[in-house]
Chains A and B, each alone.
Chain A
Amino acid sequence: MKRLALVSLVLLVAILVAGCQGASSAKTIRIGLIAPLTGSESLFGQGYKRGVELAVKDINAKGGVLGKTVELFVEDDQNDPNQSVNAVQKLVNQNKVVGIVGAFSSKCSIPAHEQACALGVPIISPTSTNPKVTVDEKGNHKWCAFRATFIDPFQGQVAAKFAYNDLGIRKAAVFWDNGNDYSKGLAEYFINNFEALGGLILVKEAYSAGDQDFSAQITRAMQSGVELIYLPDYFAKVNLIAGQARTLGYKGKFMGGDGWDNPGIDKTILNGSYYTAHYAPEDPEAAELVAKWKAEYNGEVPTGDGALAYDAAIILLNAIERAGTTDGKKVAEAMLQTKDLRVGTAVVSINEQGNAVKPVYFLQVTLEGPKYVTKVSP
């Protein structure tokens, strides 16, 4: 009994101390970032970190938010949904953040956003495109969940139209990662739209994240005479599948989504392939952000993930400013009313489902890097 009392006392003191810390540091506006800083998607995570850091720097240079300096707390989730949920808990309970930017992939963002709503803190994902990130099963907006970009139904529709009308493709194959909501969702929307246009999807194959051999699927696709293989996955897997397809003698085209938008994409194997993305560096609308980024990061051009993370942080901080408080509900309401806000890549508004209304950009892989082709507005 004595021991129990002692433990309770220690806990009580700990809680009091922690409480005091939280109170005393309310001199700053604390926001969190959840990104895959290590692991196989770490290149995306590094882009996220740079984007949010740049946004925080910009806002602080202009006097911060609600007259206070913005302070950033970063958590690594290794693109693992369990770790994303833990990261939300840690950021909210320990770091006392009032808003979160994250997570990267939809499979992480869906549970992370649910956790954030449960803890009463608004959260915005820069590039998770699966609809379920911001809406529940019935299609109603989860009050705290937002994203800085378009959703996959739109991306899949625009991609299918481009393949059918602009590339003249009639027969295609689609391979996707069954364990990733992003890959699965985008594949589904591409297939539905392409078939609705009158095209044929002759091979539809799911794989699991650990698969390394795709020869059997590729052979089936080749034998059925497809002209295009649509690969809605991240660049590392895309490089592997496309490389195998070329080795097996596939001569047709490849096409993909925003998961390709990374310097890690294999420019030799995928040279000439088109993909949809969140932004294009050559788009005049993004010129100011590109210039700022170059000045900050040794002349580098922002990656799609980095640019969108910048946008997401700006949307969140702007909403806190307009709400006039850090109360989660009020900030989320303000965020939902975001209208014609100038962010890094465009001027955006947030619609009733918590999504940014913004165009899909078409880029082409070339040996010199991504080339801007066109953009399609909703």
Chain B
Amino acid sequence: MGASPASWKEAVVIQQIVNALMLGSVYALIALGYTIVYGIIRFINFAHGDIFMVSAYIVFAAVSYWKLGFFGALVAAVVGAVILGVTIEKVAYRPLRKAPKISLLITAIGVSLFLENFVALPLVMGSMPKVVPSFIPIISYTVGGVRFTSAQVIIFGLAVVLMALLGWFIRNTKLGRAMRAVSTDYMAVPLMGLSVDSIISSAFAIGSGLAAVGGLLYVIVYPMVDPFMGIMIGTKAFISAVVGGIGNIYGAVAGAYLIALLEVLVVAAGYSTWRDAVAFGLLIVVLLLKPSGLFGKFQKEKV
């Protein structure tokens, strides 16, 4: 630590921002799943945090039981989560498509509780937290007094690439356009000869796939899985989506980084017991001042 006190302090702040970017990336990947589904069928999929949890368990199994590496675990988690997400939609939500929204919401909570307690069964994974062995080499670099590890670079890089890809996909592909069409006018889509069911399925597939990547990145930095890990992370991701303006993909990403930054700064300032209070406090403030969220008015960006 030969640096002068001033630059040393600066390095601490940048280091904390690096931490916030990591946490924010995980929140953002999950928040996108909430926002995509909401954007299309105006429904909050409360089981989404648990899809994240199941993906983290798949990564755990892939690494400790099947001895797969990073890419093996990534593929296993994404495939597993997509199958799970699409199945949940087909089995639990599709039959209720025409039912009141509240029935759908209660079903989602039921699915969430089912997934948590199913994984917690002694014969499945048990309720004990499990340690995920490290599966990528961790190399660290120091740039101007700020430490980066290969894990942080991978997490941030992968999250940004995926979010950019999603943005491009929604804007420029046929399926993306179809999704925006369902979002704008649900009833008119079948008239154009498109299948609403398959468009909704693909929204669930994309959301679940992103949650799976979130699960993988999460266990790299926080190497532990437990059946109830999806509750808090899912809630934080959900409020990120709401703060950003639910239904808007850029809003979800911005909200996620904002919440993560706020949390990390609160802890960095020495008030770690206040972190959740501040995160949820921000939600209340945003809802009071701008109920549609920070980016809520950009209707045309809705997916």
Contact = CB atoms under 8 A, between A and B. Distances in A.
B292 interface: no
B224 A243 contact: yes
Contact of A249 (B1, B131, B149): B149
Contact of B12 (A42, A219, A236): A219
12 contacts: A205-B272, A213-B222, A215-B264, A216-B267, A219-B268, A220-B12, A236-B129, A244-B222, A246-B138, A247-B223, A266-B131, A269-B223
Interface of A: 38-40, 42-43, 178, 205-208, 210-213, 215-217, 219-220, 223, 225, 236, 239-240, 243-244, 246-249, 264, 266, 268-269
A296 B276 CA distance: 47
B267 A42 contact: no
A232 B87 CA distance: 43
Contacts of A213: 23, 221-222, 263-264
B202 interface: no
A236 B128 contact: yes
A225 B11 CA distance: 14
Contacts of B64: none
Ordered nearest first, which 10 A-B pairs have the shortest CB separation? A216-B267, A215-B19, A243-B223, A236-B129, A240-B224, A216-B264, A216-B268, A249-B140, A223-B12, A266-B131
Nearest to B220: A247
B149 A38 contact: no
Given A42-B127, A268-B133, A219 B272 contact: no
B22 interface: yes
Contacts of B233: 212
B95 interface: no
Contacts of A248: 19, 147, 149
Interface string B265-303: 101101011011000000000000000000000000000
Chain B contact surface mostly: helix
Interface centre among B15, B133, B226 (most CB of A within 10 A): B15
Given A216-B16, A219-B15, A206 B272 contact: yes
Interface in B102-159: 126-129, 131, 133-134, 138, 140, 147, 149, 151
Contact of A207 (B11, B22, B273): B273
Nearest to A268: B133
A178 B274 CA distance: 11
Contacts of B165: none
Contacts of A264: 128, 131
A350 B263 CA distance: 47
Contacts of A38: 127
A98 to B, nearest CB: 32
A210 B138 contact: no
Contacts of A217: 267, 272
Contacts of B164: none
Contacts of A246: 138
A40 B131 CA distance: 13
Nearest to A213: B23
Given A216-B16, A216-B19, 10 more contacts: A39-B127, A43-B128, A178-B273, A205-B267, A207-B273, A211-B272, A215-B22, A216-B263, A223-B8, A246-B138
Nearest to B260: A213
Contacts of A205: 267, 270, 272
B76 interface: no
B175 interface: no
B61 interface: no
Interface centre among A213, A244, A248 (most CB of B within 10 A): A213
A207 B272 contact: yes
Contacts of A239: 129, 131, 223-224
B232 interface: yes
Given A240-B223, A244-B222, A212 B229 contact: yes
